[in-house]
Structure formats: structure tokens, C-alpha cells
Chain A
């Protein structure tokens, strides 16, 4: 380490950056600046550790100040001291603090927050209903939504983006054609709307393929002339014809199941598609989109397609966004704790009776929460044990809880005894 620190180059200077990747990882996670490296080296010499984020922040502040090493050491010492002050104490009840820190601001949210988000007329649940949805780990959110970005070369061209939109949006036969029933001949006549076809980028051939491919419309599909399809019922039954009509109306011509609407929006970095409805697995198979940035607000779907770690990230992102949209400043650490709890079992569990609280090991804790009699009865029948490890159990039996000073046991071991034991 040099005794006197040279002013490190500006952060923007790429050449002097050091690749800083996880060992064995494919992707470089972040690049390290020389100043950061120096700080890390000094910390190691001091036998201290700081989270990366703090090292970055310190480096950001001092990298162009041309400080002496002695001064930097002082800064680091002070930083370490402050950091220690802010770490949570052992046996502190982090969970209760998190619950209260989210719960209290939560009371300030209006129950009826269900309004239009600024995003291109798509209706998104916000506020308390959304927060409840997240912690309940619902399989499908009430307003599923996706956000699809494009690689730079595609994002600039409207046609290309429009093509993707038409590929995503679910188009039913009814959306692009007039359908009429011909009762005398027991058949259905489909008149496609040329204009709509062009807008959706569908040709008559595509339609014919879609119509005849669908196994559920087993009946004969015939193309009559240039702009008409005739579907014969085959059976002489009005009920059959009616059923066939319903089936035909809702026939998927193009698009992805579950996505009702896709809206194109121009943003500073190019076009972005927002969709009503979500189907992550299928959207990820589409060409010409930026797969790494496809987002959905359906957390369970993220868990299925991208894994538990991605789901954890999504819970944090969604919950934090929901809270800050309402102007509530909840420290992200509390939300992280909740997300960690929800995902620690390998799949997304809800907070509440069916999730975390319902699976506590202590009978008394579970009985204290909800459906008291059921839990106690069951415990009696199968002979459950309670080791009184948690907070609720100990309050019930009137003992100090195992938190803070209550978590520590003091044993007096007289010197004489100790010597004897040796």
C-alpha cells in the first residue's frame, strides 16, 4: 500500500476499474474502483469489516479529495464505530419491530385506494389492497400486469414493437370479425373485418389456420370467397349451434393466454409495452424483447418461472413500491425481513393463518393467533409438546420472554468449583 495516496481517477474512467465478480459467476456484478480497493485493503489491515454499500459511499465521498492515509484511517475508524452503533443487538425482536414498522404506516393508507396508475390507462391495484395481496401470496393478483422492455435496436422502431404487441395481445375471433348464425342452414358465418385484421397484423391465411387448427371446433371450416368463413354445425340441433357459436366467438386467433390487453408507451429510453394480464412463461419465449427485463406483478408466477430468489426480490420490490407510492417511508430492511420469512422454505408462503403464523412450532403461539380451539384440541389429541421458546407462549404461561435480557441466562460458577472442575 502506498504511504501517500494518489488522487484516484474519476469514477467514469473505465480503464482503471477492477472487475468485481462473484467467483465462479458468469456475470460481472460490479466493477471496483481503485479507491474502493484501497479502503478494503485498509479495513482488512485494521481487522474490521464493513458492508460493500458503506465502502462505496465512503469511496464516493473521498476519492477525489487527495487525502493522507492517516486521515483515511480516521474516517474508516469513525465509520466502523457508527456502523456498530447501528447494527441490531443480538436477541432484539427484529420481527416485531418490522411488523410494527409496516403496520403503523399501513393504517394511514386508505382502504379504498383503487385508482388508475399513471401507466397508460391500465388499472392497477394500489395501496392497502395491493399490500395485502403481496403478503397473502395470492396465486393471481387482482390486476395482473406485465412490463416488457426491448433491446435498444428494437425499441426505436415502432413497427417492430407493434409486431410484438400484436403477438402478445390475446385476440379472439370476436375481436376481429363479425359472427352471424345462419339458422336455416345450421351454420355460422364469419366476416372478418379487414381493417382490424391489418391493425392486428393477421392475414386471412393465419385465420384459416387458427380456425381449422383448433381441435375444439371439430366442425368443417370452409373458406368462401375472399372474405368469409363458413363453419358447418353438422348436427341438426339448435343447442349445438349455440354452443358452437360461443366456442367460435372466444376462439384464440393470436396472442398469449391470459393477456387481455397490451399497450404501447413511449418512454425516454424507447418503447415499453404494458399489459393487462400476465403470463411470464410464455412472454419469455417471444423473440425480439429484452428477456432479462421482463417484469410482472404476479409474484407466484415469478417463483414458478424464475425461482425463489427472484420471488424474494419481487416481494421486496413490489411491497416497497406500493408503500412509497402512498408516500409512506418504511425502511426497506423491514420489508426484506418479511420477504425472507416468506421465502425461507423454498416456496412463497403467505403471512397469516395458512402461512407463517399457522406453521409455528408452538401450539400455544398458534392458539393465541387464530382458531384457538382447533389448535388446542388437535394438540391434546396427538399429544403435542411446547418448549416455550417463543414470545407468545411465555406470555401465556407468565414467564419472561426470550428476548433482550430475557434471552440470557446467568450462571454463577464460584471460583472454587471452577478450579475443582479443572
Chain B
């Protein structure tokens, strides 16, 4: 039932500005390595985010480049218990 919003017609409203959507930041290669080293983990252990996710699409539009599978996205969440904290999601197809 839910029709997907057409990206073209979404010029008036940016997904990122919605109250429910936390800030998403695309990490570069070096930052990715830092994150994986700090948490002593690998990419496949991180939570995932779809490439088709509206937020990834929005980041793609902002960065002007294609976000490939395996890139890490840093998410700045607001939490009722911890205040503000970072979390990470890895892009999957």
C-alpha cells in the first residue's frame, strides 16, 4: 500500500530534517578503519542499512557519489538513557 516517495518530488522536503531521523554521516576509509579498530570488530558484525534506505539516498545526493556496499555510516542518535551517542551501520544491498 505504501507508495515509495519519488526522489524527484522530494525536493520540498528532506528526509534528514524529520524529527524521527537521526543525523547520518558517511565515514571515509580512514575513519572506517579507526572505528573497526576501536571496537575490535569487523564490518559484518555491525548492524546494517540498505543502500535503498532514504537516508543513504539522501547522503548519496549530498556527497554526489555512489555509496557502495560496505561503506560505514555513522549515526548520531538521541537516546533517552544515554543522551547522545554514536552508532554505526554498514551499507548492504
Contacts and interface: CB of A to CB of B under 8 A. Distances in A.
A122 to B, nearest CB: 19
Contacts of B92: 346
Contacts of A258: 1
A307 B83 contact: no
Given A29-B23, A29-B84, A306-B20, A282 B3 contact: yes
A140 B55 CA distance: 22
Contacts of A25: 23, 25, 76
Nearest to B12: A285
Contacts of A214: none
A291 B2 contact: no
Nearest to A331: B81
A248 to B, nearest CB: 24
B11 to A, nearest CB: 10
A326 B1 CA distance: 30
Interface in B52-84: 53-56, 75-84
Interface string B1-18: 111110001101101111
Interface residues of B, number: 41
Nearest to B24: A309
Contacts of A29: 23, 76, 78, 84
A293 B80 CA distance: 18
Contact of B1 (A23, A56, A140, A345): A140
A226 interface: no
B53 A56 contact: no
Contact of B13 (A51, A284, A300, A309): A284
B84 A52 contact: yes
Contact of A332 (B76, B80, B84): B80
B1 A139 contact: yes
B79 A53 contact: yes
Nearest to B20: A310
Nearest to A282: B3
B83 A52 contact: yes
A58 to B, nearest CB: 12
A301 interface: yes
Interface residues of A, number: 51
A291 B21 contact: no
A320 B17 CA distance: 24
A319 to B, nearest CB: 13
A333 B49 contact: no
B85 interface: yes
Contacts of A291: 12-13, 17-18
Contact of A309 (B1, B10, B12, B77): B77
A307 B50 CA distance: 9
A292 B18 contact: yes
B75 A51 contact: no
A343 B23 contact: no
A279 B2 contact: yes
Given A298-B2, A309-B55, A26 B16 contact: yes
Contacts of A55: 83
B43 interface: no
Nearest to B15: A306
Interface in A29-53: 29-30, 51-53
Given A29-B23, A281-B3, A346-B49, A52 B82 contact: yes
14 contacts: A23-B25, A24-B25, A26-B16, A279-B2, A284-B5, A284-B10, A287-B12, A295-B20, A308-B49, A308-B55, A309-B75, A310-B20, A313-B20, A333-B81
Closest 6 CB pairs of A and B: A52-B83, A53-B83, A346-B48, A310-B20, A307-B55, A22-B76
Given A279-B2, A285-B13, A310-B20, 12 more contacts: A26-B16, A139-B2, A281-B5, A292-B18, A301-B2, A305-B54, A306-B21, A306-B55, A309-B22, A309-B49, A340-B47, A343-B47
Interface of B: 1-5, 9-10, 12-13, 15-25, 47-50, 53-56, 75-85, 89, 92
